[in-house]
Amino acid sequence: MPLNSFRGSKYVAALCGVSACCLSGCTSWHGTTSPAASASPQSADETEIRAFIRGGEAETPFVREAPNLDWENAFGIRYNNLAKRDAFYREAVAPLQVGDTGGTLEVRILFIGLSLAVADEYWHEVGQRDVDTLKRGPDRWGRTTYIFEKADGMWTEIIERVADLRLAYYRHYDGLPAPEPLSDEALAKLEGTFRFRRSILTLSRAGGKFAVTKRLIANPAERSTLVGIPTSASTVLIFDPDDIAEYSIIEFSDGIPTIRRCGDDPAIPGTRGTRVTQ
């Protein structure tokens, strides 16, 4: 995406890059991997909104920004005047983003009826400069939320909010992902009982997946039944089938498992465990 675009991950509209800093509707979220996206009667609208988020009004004649766009960034800077917002970006933000990298990680769109749409864009920014020191700051993971209203065949962005995520971005799933096809030998290496700091997990093969029993060390009588999805010969995602929004990741290296929550910074090692039984 071009640097002068106001859309997408290059337009995170923040004064610095070192901040420490749900909606429900009548249809489901259309994620980047959602099969519903291509079959939806609103797929044409979705295509236009995605084009707008990717490159602004230059990408589509069917989506525009309201002149009185209600806009607020992650630091509480707020505008209801599009021209002033754009001037703020050019003067205060763009110089801090020269030479940085990153981009859009995922866009999810929710249509509420026929005339309202909400889009969440998740992005990763690398190398944005601090407003005071002009030194490059740490990586930023963020989410920009766009609200659109449709009238006379035209979508208008009326509200935009930018947020820094305290946890690193992690992929969203609209349903349980398909397991990576693995040999019996590879699956056997992932099977067993593993003890971590707070819980004991037992992975038992169930076809190409795993039935997972979780016991809390502090209260062994409390058990939960989960689903394990192998995504490689060394990685298993652990889902609660009743709520797949959040999941855990087990990674194996030389037979030693490490577990971390989705959203934990992948640069920070997770919690190492030990194999209790094969």
C-alpha 198/C-alpha 177 separation (Å) is 26
pLDDT at residue 83, as a whole number: 94
Domain locations in the chain?
8-164, 184-277
List, in sequence order, every beta strand (DSSP E) within the chain.
63-72, 78-79, 101-112, 116-126, 140-151, 154-164, 192-195, 199-206, 209-216, 219-232, 235-240, 243-253, 256-261, 271-272, 274-277
Q: What is the pLDDT of residues 49-104, one digit of tens each?
A: 999 999 988 889 999 999 999 999 998 999 999 999 999 999 988 888 888 888 89
Q: What is the pLDDT of residues 144-175, one digit of tens each?
A: 999 999 999 999 999 999 999 877 778 888 89
C-alpha 199/C-alpha 259 separation (Å) is 11
CATH classification code of 184-277? 2.40.128
Q: What is the pLDDT of residues 118-135, one digit of tens each?
A: 999 999 988 888 888 888
C-alpha 247/C-alpha 183 separation (Å) is 24
Residue 263 carries which side chain, given as an amino acid letter?
A: G
Percentage of residues of the chain with pLDDT beyond 70: 83
pLDDT at residue 11, as a whole number: 47
Q: What angle do CA 47, 146, 60 make, to 5 degrees?
A: 35
Strand partners, 140: 125
Q: Looking at the domain 8-164, which fold is it?
A: Nuclear Transport Factor 2; Chain: A, (3.10.450)
C-alpha 101/C-alpha 82 separation (Å) is 26
